[in-house]
Amino acid sequence: MSMNIVKKEVYRLGVIGYGGMASYHHKRIPKPEGIRFTAAYDISEARLEKAARDGLTVYRSLEEFLKDETLDLVLVATPNNFHKELAIAAMEAGKHVICEKPVALNSGELEEMIVCAQKNQVLFTVHQNRRMDADFRIIKKIYDENMLDEIFRIESRVQGSRGIADTWRRQKQAGGGMLYDWGVHLIDQILYLLPGKVTSVFAEFQYLGGYGVDDNVRLTMTFEDGISVLVEIGTCNYIMLPIWYVCGRKGSAQIDYWNLEGRMYHLIDNDIKFEDEIPSTLVGPSITLAPRASDTMEELPLPKAEVDEGFFYKNIYRVLRGEEEPAVKIPEIRRVMQVIDLAFASGRSRQVIQCEV
């Protein structure tokens, strides 16, 4: 994507929507010296007062905020349904834009945003920060270093038992629901991990909380090389399943939950001798699925993975100076949105959808 490069030592960032995530950007996400978070616009007086207490210049009008010539970069961190119109307004004002996830509600909205970025020759990217989460980096290392041999199945899930938070996240018109909220992260991780095309999508949605937005999602993606991926998000799970379960021809890996505990088993010897008599277990007889001899595989700790929480803004600084490509690129953003569209379409039709994404 072509963009106007103006080399500066310091780029100033202003946010539209100074809520929970914007405040996290301001205070918690490491930024290089060359990115200064300086201003906020919000429709909530309480949030503007908070922004002022946090040392930001505050604006009560979007027009005034966008007229601030000291601002090079705008972060859009409002509820999801406003991302498109606000990102477009910022780009039309000549600002580079980082949009919070999900970038938009569908591919049609996203295409309008991309056209606008191209017309104004500005950076347009999405904060897909979970590419740097420790659990995902472990799985990426296992995949990249071929630790399990050919991987044929991946399960990625997040589960809780508290329903959806009592905010816009419960509202359909605001772009609430768990596919947009967490699904977008898990899909982005998978598409970033696996090089092949997605050839089919099937999704099931449940609406247990009665809010009218999906609070339980199971999405299956098949890839052209045969890898089958399950992405699952639950908000009514009093017992949680592992966040990652990965199967390769010569091993399996599992990460249990947020504390990153887990294990990896690796095959030593596949010269299996099946018993003459069918083994009996507490749940009945089984020859095929009876446990293998413990000395034919070894248990290994999960690998350690490097995590750099500052990766996103370091990259933004270098992109603005023309020194690097964006870490989160337009074709990647497009693919994630296409899978989300297909998942919703599959949920409505209850059909597997063949595709090439």
Ligand X SMILES: NC(=O)c1ccc[n+]([C@@H]2O[C@H](COP(=O)([O-])OP(=O)(O)OC[C@H]3O[C@@H](n4cnc5c(N)ncnc54)[C@H](O)[C@@H]3O)[C@@H](O)[C@H]2O)c1
Q: Which of 14, 58, 78, 192 binds ligand X (CB under 6 A)?
A: 78
Minimum CB separation of residue 316 from ligand X in Å reads: 14
176 binds ligand X (CB under 6 A): no
Residue 200 CA to residue 218 CA, distance in Å, equals 14
How many C-beta atoms surround the C-beta of residue 282 within 10 A?
4
303 binds ligand X (CB under 6 A): no
Residue 316 CA to residue 122 CA, distance in Å, equals 12
The two beta strands, 228-234 and 216-223, are: antiparallel
Amino acid letter, residue 16: I
The token duo for 84 is: 């498109």
Minimum CB separation of residue 43 from ligand X in Å reads: 5
Which residues in 9-68 contact ligand X (CB under 6 A)? Answer: 16-22, 42-44, 47
CB crowding 127-162: b at 16 or more within 10 Å, else e? bbbbbbbebbbbbbebbeeebbeebeebbbbbbbee
Residue 147 DSSP code: T
Q: Which stretch binds ligand X (CB under 6 A): 74-82, 111-119, 236-244, 250-258?
A: 74-82
Minimum CB separation of residue 130 from ligand X in Å reads: 6
Q: Which is nearer to ligand X, 192 or 223 (CB)?
A: 192
127 binds ligand X (CB under 6 A): yes
Q: Which of 71, 74, 75, 77 binds ligand X (CB under 6 A)?
A: 77
The two beta strands, 251-255 and 262-267, are: antiparallel
Give me the residue label for tokens 């947009």.
Answer: 180
Minimum CB separation of residue 48 from ligand X in Å reads: 9
214 binds ligand X (CB under 6 A): no
Q: Which of 26, 101, 137, 335 binds ligand X (CB under 6 A)?
A: 101
The token duo for 199 is: 């050839």
Give me the residue label for tokens 């018109």.
Answer: 173
79 binds ligand X (CB under 6 A): yes
Q: Which of 39, 59, 80, 357 binds ligand X (CB under 6 A)?
A: 80
* Residues at the site binding ligand X, with contacts judged by CB under 6 A: 16-22, 42-44, 47, 77-80, 82, 100-101, 127, 129, 167-168, 181
